[in-house]
Amino acid sequence: MSHLLSSLHDQALKLSRRYLACEKELLEILVKIEARKVYLEQGYASLTEYSHKALGLSRDVTWNLVTIVHKSKAIPELKQAVQLGVLPLSKARQIAPHLTRENSEKFIALAQAMPREKLQEALAKECPKIPSVEERARVINATQAELSLCLPKEVMEKIRRAQDRVSESQKKWVGLAETLEQVVEFYLQHKDPKEKAKRHEVRKAKAPVSAKQSRRTVREPDAAARSPELNLRLKNKPKKKGRVPIPAGIKHEVTIKNAHQCTYQDPRTQLRCDKERFLHIHHKLPVAMGGTNALDNLTLLCSAHHRLEHYQSSG
């Protein structure tokens, strides 16, 4: 090998050693940051957000590190194997979701000995619940995405049954992609808060006030109409403590008003958080300070930003 080539190789070797050492040190620091919740102090809702936005790590690297940090709370051997340099981060991340106290020793040893694909197969063999193919969704062109995943056999049978029903209703053979589209559409119609809120709006616009009142009368007869026994029972019934629940109609209106998305705005970038799952309704003026369930006092926050909001308002 020429002098130039071997010198390039030496430089690469030196840098990659430094890079791997840095990775290990970073993991160590992140474990401490998570333990002391330093990210809240810095105005970030979670270790993930802090690593990505404040430290500038890519989503993949953040995901790897944070998964290992969280798992290491229960299984410190995972972190130790990475720090000793016997387990690369990517493999630690691969086994982390499946580690338990019982299998950790075995899986960490497997991960050290095997390449990624073989490791995935071995994990699947050891725990039948672990799919032998990693879940993957990727966009392949402007209008389509490719999805690969492993399903339990019974679920696949149910999808086939759904495929039969969709085919019958459309009076033609329908493929799996279209079946899935129909099934998802149907599910969202029934479960998606945005769709529920839309239906609420339609109902509200249609229903005359008197009809609403008469419905209430049927459900809640006044004292004179109730039997004396029931009146006595209601009178003696202990009053429920705690806050007044937010009426369903108001919840729907909060959803519509905020487009079912976290309303947290990053003070540094002015960007709004894009989370649409695990959303909580937050009282801007806390209930304890006289805040009500009026629409103006309510907003939507994802669980991480909800925690941050309360941390900041308590400190």
For Zn ion, the binding residues (CB under 5 A) are 262, 264, 273, 275, 282, 302, 305
| Least distance CB 307 / Zn ion (angstroms) | 9
Token pair of 89 as six digits: 């981060």
Q: Nearer Cβ to Zn ion, position 200 or 282?
A: 282
Q: Nearer Cβ to Zn ion, position 174 or 273?
A: 273
| Least distance CB 289 / Zn ion (angstroms) | 12
Amino acid at position 91, single letter? K
Q: Nearer Cβ to Zn ion, position 200 or 305?
A: 305
Query: Are 276 and 261 in contact, with CB atoms under 8 Å apart?
Result: yes
| Least distance CB 243 / Zn ion (angstroms) | 11
| Least distance CB 278 / Zn ion (angstroms) | 9
Token pair of 312 as six digits: 């900041």
| Of 100, 105, 101, 158, residue with least CA distance to 129 | 100
| Least distance CB 244 / Zn ion (angstroms) | 15
Q: Nearer Cβ to Zn ion, position 47 or 81?
A: 47
Q: Nearer Cβ to Zn ion, position 109 or 271?
A: 271
CA distance 35 to 315: 18
Residue 76 burial (CB count, 10 A):
12
DSSP string for residues in 178-217: HHHHHHHHHHHHHH-HHHHHHHHHHHHHHS-HHHHHHHHH
Q: Nearer Cβ to Zn ion, position 218 or 289?
A: 289
| Least distance CB 43 / Zn ion (angstroms) | 13
| Of 281, 313, 275, residue with least CA distance to 297 | 281
